Amino acid sequence: MAIVEQENPLLEGLALRRTPDPCAMVIFGASGDLAHRKIFPALYSLLYRRLLPEHFGVIGVARTEGDDDQFREDMKEAVKKYGRDEFRDDVWEKLAEGMRWVTADFADEGGEDRIIEALNELDETRGTRGNRVYYLAVPPSAFEMIVEAMGKRRSTEGWTRLIVEKPFGYDLHSARELNALLTRYFEEREIFRIDHYLGKETVQNVLALRFANGIFEPIWNRQFIDHVQITVAETIGIEGRAAYYEKAGAIRDIFQNHLLQLLALTAMEPPIDFTADSVRNEKVKVLKAMHTPGPKSVVRGQYGRGFIEGVEVSGYREEPGVAPDSMTETFVAAKLYVDSWRWADTPFYVRMGKRLARRETTIAIQFKAAPHPPFEETQEEGLRPNVLLVHVQPDEGVSLAIGAKMPGQGMRIRTVHMDFLYGGAFRTGMPEAYERLILDCLVGDQTLFTRADEIEEQWLLVDTIVAAWQRDRPAFPNYAAGTWGPPSSDALIRRDGREWRRT
């Protein structure tokens, strides 16, 4: 009997909002890790699903000597290694036809000329119509030269957009300087500051969960919610990035961007619509309303030697390139408040760190206990409060903890979980964050990109915390790799009679 493959009804309606315009993308830093691991696998997956414009071209730019053929072969291997879709020669050839390589050093004006020549050639041969996307996959030290060079030689035809990777500044002062540089040559509507966490489906699902379901929004406030916990935990160390991490630390690497964005999405008011500015306006209001935490409300840590999945790993100070007396934090936990009508006096406990016990990114909304549980005395185990848990990674989905009667005599109540898993419900592979973000840039949708005032509000909070740290030198390392951070992190939340989630 023949097996008929059924269409998944849950995938109906997931069509592209509109086809991107023809355009050429210039990737500065195309020889780097980001282009290999993320950008080109994302472009391939978009083309695989016919989401790229028909008339499209990519120019790779770096100081590395090379040519078109080398570039194509290099990225072909990257797509095979890191792509999420099966490799098909017909799909790859279509992408490769529009790929060009330019060796350029922006200390030399000849590099600018070669890029412009390549863009003009793509306009003629690929029909890209003067539309440009400039992708800055380079260290911040190279931003100024590239932005100035491309800004002064903008195409007189079509539109121009600029994608900027993090880190966006080192503090508030440098972020403002960078914003001033970008807006000297590009309008705010043309600037796309990437925070790849916002491209994750489960992060976007926070908005759908709240605003598409009438059962949640009426109780999404201080009257019903006891507290919120946000965890961004990694089991990996610094992965050979000592030069960057020694300057950034956990607070600049994760807290300033990913974590504060998750908090803003969780705490924001309903936007009047889902246009980019409406959503970002509400996030900015949350960031502006955040109460500056005192020294007792922030904990920092640094990992020492320990075990990850049974394998002994070195401490942070033993990592290559790290100073033996480094005071760089690899862990931060904090108790934050949003001073608004909705959230007054409701704590947001946040933590993030390297070399922790388990890799996970979760948002846990813990509701207040029922005011009068009549079967409390018959309990054999404590009934835990209701918790709505959003799994951002690795097990993407949503779980709701509720109390249910156990089978048998008597009224014995136990906490059980109602689970929604993306993979099970939609039976389709989860798109990579960079696929969504690149596609949004091509269609000009800035909803999932951070705005200048968002960036500055985030840095304002971080600068205040870091300034307080200048007055003390904790004893590092203060937690073993493979644990959940320093004991002071547990003390931070236990002072309020609460506990960090462990499962």
Q: CA-based Rg of the chain, rounded to a whole angstrom?
A: 24
- Residue located via tokens 């440098």: 174
- Local structure of 204: helix, strand or coil: helix
DSSP code of residue 462: H
d(CA 481, CA 303): 5
Tokens standing for 38?
A: 């993320």
In 3D space, the residue among 235, 259, 430 whose CA is nearest the CA of residue 336 turns out to be: 259
- Residue located via tokens 């409060």: 385
Element (H, E) at 467: helix 452-469
- Residue located via tokens 């491309």: 150
Question: Residue 457, class by beta-carbon neighbours within 10 Å (0-12 exposed, 13-18 middle, 19+ buried)?
Answer: buried
Give percent helix, percent strand, percent coil of the chain, each to the nearest 5: 40, 20, 40
d(CA 410, CA 412): 6
Element (H, E) at 491: helix 487-494
d(CA 319, CA 305): 10
Kindly report whether the peptide bond that precedes residue 477 is cis, defined as omega within 30 degrees of 0. Answer: yes
Active site (annotated) includes residue 258:
yes
d(CA 259, CA 465): 15
d(CA 210, CA 104): 47
Strands 413-421, 298-301: pairing is: unpaired
Catalytic residue among 55, 258, 291, 391: 258
Tokens standing for 299?
A: 């904990």
d(CA 226, CA 224): 7
d(CA 456, CA 107): 30
Residue 340 near residue 496, CB atoms below 8 Å = no
Please state, as a whole number, how many other Cβ atoms lie within 10 Å of the Cβ of residue 157: 11
Residue 396 near residue 266, CB atoms below 8 Å = no
The residues annotated with a catalytic role in the active site are 258
